[in-house]
Structure 1
């Protein structure tokens, strides 16, 4: 074996030892967590497709390349910016809980606090396929046969597994795939593939091929009413879940308007509840009352203190008010009012953490993919696709080549909570794409940071970098991050290795519980992409997170 082959299979350290600079282009840009997925999107733009076509091609490719994080067994959310009329549309591709599932049934099983993490009971209807089809149907211009072609090619011919993905895959092997029904399908000779190993997924290629021979609406019907749906339901019910064919047949995506707030003279847009984009907007609304740039450098204790406290307050409100919009009407106007933002800012002490503030408690981390596209016409698509935790439940239906999400774990079992488990209900959802507009409605950027409850925290930090400090997309993504750790009621704050020791000491003295994360534990801080567009020239500038395997690239 050559030295190259030996190093090819080595698991590299998770260090930022290479230089990343912004990528510029003039005729379209795609950014994702996998180079081959970025190329799939670019293939659509070269073929004359637009941002919607390229986004769904990227989504399908990622389902093949990074099945630990995403796929047809999960959900998806997107924001689409129409360059012709400056309008932002929100598409909610989350599925509902089974109609048979009641709180009483769960209580009778002796389950008290939350649904078991990886159990089939947590499988809601997977909404990704419907969302893909609806996005192409409304905004796309290419047939599914063209859009799914790169993903089918990667699945059939094989692809080399990238480094960060290999680490996530290994975690899935150790945690669930070797014990979950059907999980061996997504392993290589019974083991997680190493970096550089060639993986195939012929079962998934066949599913995509079946879908690709139909119109978007026909493909959606095929997925939710045909043999694919029956296999999904069979796998769930055989493992103790309650999903039914009726649940699958009745699924529909939700189109709606984005929610937004003004920050430093720009409009920041998020998907409405049941997504958690509200948490990011609440935190930004609070921070607009504070002169962050006057609090020192981006890594100063004072500035980080205000960001952390604003995020805690944002989570507190989000956890209280985010639920299925058809069941609970979130008081968005009141929560996003400037008056309420000013009130929340007054609750932040300048010199210490506020022990009396009601802090939100993010629960559980997850693996997700975020990606974005801007085409030559100035249309932009910001999208997230996820199976929630690593490989979701780990349940892989026979012959389908994808795992099923465990999104139902987010339901509350408190009968008085808006997000309480109920039949046919959407749960609090973590995945959130973002878009930023200038006051005149022109596109400033499409952005996102993936990773469970890190996402609104990542949104806050990259938006602040761009709008408070005029950082370009790559500079914003390169910055070290903090994350209020999932599951810590006391609000422990994890920070990346590299923050100044003086800053960490000062934060500790202010009452923040600090923990430094190193190596692959830094995946907690998410992986993001940003594409910005110059208002005058239309030139695109993109950045891709150094914490990911991905890349940004464009047409010229």
Structure 2
């Protein structure tokens, strides 16, 4: 069964498929009817939010308010992050929920140390690679349905974070989400658009039998037979019941209690291999973040199975160029950024995988010596294909939320959570008594490779390659910024752009996110589906001048003006001298930053 990735448009496919026609020269988009700022970066949409006691930045304003309420009750930044994440699972089900995975980086002011958490789930133990290949009917795991489902890790992430850094009872953290789930909340503009799009997609997938059971998602997400529109109030009493169980019985109830038994019974009923033991054996893992020095600033990411080190590889390559002298309005700047991305992503496709199963050479990949070798491959013309850079044998746009919180003690949390592609797998479990459990399972398992020789090849109990990555920045061992930019393969290239905007161009935390971005798409993927042979497709926003685009096209880049694949950014910057927090939120999404 070959499923075409739903986020790949016709123009993108034409750029990626060998032999396809060459794209026509890009055309400048119409002028935006937008006012002008008279202070700061010209493209900045709003001023950063400043506060001293606490800060939160999320992709949904009500969730930001929930985080601040928890901080004002005496909760830590971790309590606030859990509360906001629970609220977002309700309010932005198009991007996240307790059916998905979670990663986090926490700055602890007591130990003056960064802690990393990998709360991603594993494949079911009762299914072999041969079984999955037969069930998938080809070389590609379907993006939807039970073949794409791995054990959800988010609740285990809450448990690990709360046990180590929480101050309030977990029930207090979940109380706001439970309240909104029972009483309802108004659906915001962009989330409503994604929601309606996903419902149409699931209707087609259910009709084709790719999503094996469709009544539950309809019952949950289409009350009255239709998806909610912007401004309509949505109630999810099923999720309220599930969150109450977790609050009253503890997070283990999700993995070893009746919730786990309900989920296992549902999967068995639809013919999936997921069993109670798969949930009961799941654990989150504390990991050490890794970093590179970029012009005196330490940028931190989590190691594989996430893709975070791709951002570090890009930055280490880019450090060899005087980007400030090039300027953001030069074709040379955008060309070098794109070529550095191509090099990092060739390694990403070949090496990144669950480190419990594969020997991933992380230190070498992010080293300055290796970056110097790779930098030599960047010329004046666009590379049509790129090989991975190490001789070592054996080793896209997702729907995600990113949030960050900070408290009066100086604790800062960088947290990302996701259902992955297209709102998730399309599968919603029930309790066998007419009620759903209130959430959709992720489809992260579609990111496994089916090639047995690939580092990211499917195996029972293995974690798939993950796109979701939180980030952090320090300077001289002092916390500086908690940040992230969600959106599949956009994330590492987006992280690098944020860092460059701030370090090389001196932008403040809000301007760095508002500035025009690029998104480069290439066929090299950790699913081993293809290889770039034509240079890929460079997508840019309307803020990139047409003169720059013409320069890039002359260098051999295929360029397209577009909207949509550029991610969703949130950040909190801490002034190292005053301790004042500067909050920023993505103008391309529904959310905002707020503090007190």
Counterpart Cα distance in 1 of 2:537 and 2:75? 45
Residue equivalent to 2:502: 466
Q: Post-superposition shift, 1:112?
A: 2.5
1:396 aligns with 2:428: yes
Q: Post-superposition shift, 1:497?
A: 2.4
Task: Summarize deviations over 1:210-262 as a string: whole Å, max 9, x none.
Answer: 11124xxxx22211012211222233333342111111000000101101111
Equivalent position SS for 2:579: coil
Q: Unaligned 5+ residue runs, structure 2?
A: 1-29, 36-44, 207-213, 390-395, 431-435, 525-531
- Superposed, which structure 2 residues align to 1:207-246 within 5 Å? 207-214=242-249, 219-246=250-277
Q: Post-superposition shift, 1:458?
A: 0.9
Counterpart Cα distance in 2 of 1:227 and 1:17? 53
- Superposed, which structure 2 residues align to 1:137-536 within 5 Å? 137-176=163-202, 179=206, 180-184=214-218, 185-214=220-249, 219-296=250-327, 298-349=328-379, 351-358=380-387, 364-398=396-430, 399-438=436-475, 440-485=476-521, 487=523, 489=532, 490=534, 491-517=536-562, 522-536=563-577
Counterpart Cα distance in 1 of 2:417 and 2:165? 18
Counterpart Cα distance in 2 of 1:127 and 1:83? 26
Counterpart Cα distance in 2 of 1:176 and 1:476? 36
Q: Is the 8 A contact 1:229 1:248 kept in 2?
A: yes
Equivalent position SS for 1:170: helix
Q: Post-superposition shift, 1:486?
A: 6.2
Counterpart Cα distance in 2 of 1:88 and 1:502? 43
Q: Is the 8 A contact 1:80 1:381 kept in 2?
A: yes
Counterpart Cα distance in 1 of 2:243 and 2:385? 52
Counterpart Cα distance in 1 of 2:225 and 2:33? 31
Q: Post-superposition shift, 1:118?
A: 0.5
Q: Is the 8 A contact 1:121 1:240 kept in 2?
A: no
Equivalent position SS for 2:421: coil
Equivalent position SS for 1:387: strand
Q: Post-superposition shift, 1:498?
A: 2.9
Counterpart Cα distance in 1 of 2:351 and 2:552? 29
Counterpart Cα distance in 1 of 2:555 and 2:79? 49
Structure 1 runs of 4+ with >4 Å offset: 15-18
1:68 aligns with 2:94: yes
Considering only aligned residues, what root-mean-square deviation do their CA atoms show, in Å?
1.8
Task: Summarize deviations over 1:426-463 as a string: whole Å, max 9, x none.
Answer: 0100000000000x211110000011111111101111
Residue equivalent to 1:10: none
Equivalent position SS for 2:223: coil
Which stretch shifts more, 130-139 or 480-489? 480-489
CA distance 1:264–1:305, shift in 2 (3 Å) = same
Equivalent position SS for 2:133: helix
CA distance 1:437–1:199, shift in 2 (3 Å) = same
Q: Post-superposition shift, 1:325?
A: 1.3
Counterpart Cα distance in 2 of 1:110 and 1:553? 46
Q: Is the 8 A contact 1:370 1:384 kept in 2?
A: yes
CA distance 1:454–1:359, shift in 2 (3 Å) = farther
Q: Is the 8 A contact 2:159 2:251 kept in 1?
A: yes
Q: Is the 8 A contact 1:78 1:91 kept in 2?
A: yes
Task: Summarize deviations over 1:306-350 as a string: whole Å, max 9, x none.
Answer: 11111111111122111111111211111111101111111111x
Relative to the length of structure 2, the TM-score reads: 0.86
Counterpart Cα distance in 1 of 2:34 and 2:238? 38
Counterpart Cα distance in 1 of 2:344 and 2:178? 41
Task: Summarize deviations over 1:505-532 as a string: whole Å, max 9, x none.
Answer: 1111111111111xxxx23111110110
Q: Is the 8 A contact 2:350 2:388 kept in 1?
A: no
Q: Post-superposition shift, 1:106?
A: 2.4
Counterpart Cα distance in 2 of 1:17 and 1:245? 54
1:549 aligns with 2:579: no
Q: Post-superposition shift, 1:187?
A: 1.7
Task: Summarize deviations over 1:120-146 as a string: whole Å, max 9, x none.
Answer: 111100000110111011111110121
Q: Is the 8 A contact 2:186 2:232 kept in 1?
A: yes
* Matched residue count: 529
Q: Is the 8 A contact 1:166 1:193 kept in 2?
A: yes
Q: Post-superposition shift, 1:467?
A: 1.1
Q: Post-superposition shift, 1:356?
A: 4.7
1:20 aligns with 2:52: no
Q: Post-superposition shift, 1:369?
A: 0.2
Equivalent position SS for 2:225: coil
Residue equivalent to 2:134: 108
